[in-house]
Amino acid sequence: MKLSVLALSVLIVSGGSAVAHAQNINELVNASEQNASEQNASAQSSHFLKQQVRGNNSVGRAIRTVLARYPENTPELVEIALDTYPDKYREIVSAAVSSQPAFIDDILELALARKLAPATELVTLAINAEPSYAEYAAEAACKFSPDQFNEIVKTAVSMEPDSADQIAKRLAKTYPNKILEVLVTTIQEVPLVGKYVVDALLALFPVDSSESESMIIISVEQLAKHPEALERLVEIAELRGIQQDLISASAMRGGLTDAQAKLYVNRHYIE
């Protein structure tokens, strides 16, 4: 049963004696739903959270304790915590994400809506708290702070380079009009994973599609100075039947000399 925040607050503040009595719980829930105003609910919940903070001597520990007991109330409790202790947003975000990573979208939305910190800082906190959710942290931050899209991508992939291909792939699926942007930004930030990112993103296109060909040609230009990514792009271009002259020209537009471009092309294209 998901308790209202007011009912939850009363239960905790009262020492939890009503927890074992379903009838009392129902009475509290009904009373809070029927009679309590939003203002009173917020005040009670804030009081409850402050008691938890005093008992735990830390906002972070209090958040972990409360969310472990009432995970279904995560968004409401994080909202109250951020409003009550805005200067402790680092502890709150870190504790909430590490305790309930499935709510990472809600947690970041709440923090970003309050403009407590730049999106990149909040992404950093979230990924440090739960690295395995890096792609979800990046996706949520991009959704709520689209104006910081590139910076968010850079932050996420640099923090978790081993997951860069998965981060890029999720963002490319969510924002298909930004696939090239995701590809180039990711590889420029973590060039050593370039070929894996190329494979992950090109897998989103049909092999014989015009979009695939255009993306490869443009990517060759944008990533001409990144050897591993360029090597893989030229290899894929040959496999997909893209004319080598187009690839050479694109590489030169990206800053390679004619001789340098030919070195890459000649390794994969057979006359």
Q: What's the chain's Rg over C-alpha atoms?
A: 25
92: confidence class by pLDDT, cuts 50, 70, 90: very high
Nearest Cα neighbor of 108 from 154, 149, 142, 153 is: 142
- Residue 58 is predicted with a pLDDT of 82
pLDDT tens digits along 175-217 = 999 998 999 999 999 988 888 898 898 888 777 778 888 889 9
Spatial neighbors of 189 by CB under 8 A, at least 6 apart, are: 153, 154, 157, 158
Statement: residue 16 has pLDDT above 50: no
Statement: residue 64 has pLDDT above 60: yes
> Could you identify the residue written with the tokens 């050593």?
192
- Which of 1-5, 35-39, 177-181 tops mean pLDDT? 177-181
Q: Which of 16-20, 131-135, 147-151, 244-248 has the lowest mean pLDDT?
A: 16-20
pLDDT tens digits along 143-173 = 999 999 999 999 999 999 999 999 999 999 9
Task: Give the mean model confidence (pLDDT) for residues 224-246.
Answer: 93
Task: Give the mean model confidence (pLDDT) for residues 209-229.
Answer: 90
Q: Could you give the CA distance from residue 133 to residue 150 in angstroms, rounded to a whole number?
A: 19
Query: Measured in Å, how far apart are the chain's first and last C-alpha atoms?
Result: 70
Q: Could you give the CA distance from residue 205 to residue 185 in angstroms, rounded to a whole number?
A: 19
- DSSP-derived 3-state class of residue 79: helix
**What letter represents residue 14's amino acid?**
S
46: confidence class by pLDDT, cuts 50, 70, 90: low
**Under a CB-based contact definition with an 8 Å cutoff, are residues 222 and 254 in contact?**
yes
Q: Which of 10-14, 49-53, 136-140 has the lowest mean pLDDT?
A: 10-14
22: confidence class by pLDDT, cuts 50, 70, 90: very low
The proportion of the chain whose per-residue pLDDT surpasses 70, expressed as a percent, equals: 79
Q: Indicate if the alpha-carbon torsion angle 85, 88, 94, 95 is positive or negative.
A: negative
Q: Indicate if the alpha-carbon torsion angle 154, 159, 163, 166 is positive or negative.
A: negative
In this prediction the pTM is 0.77
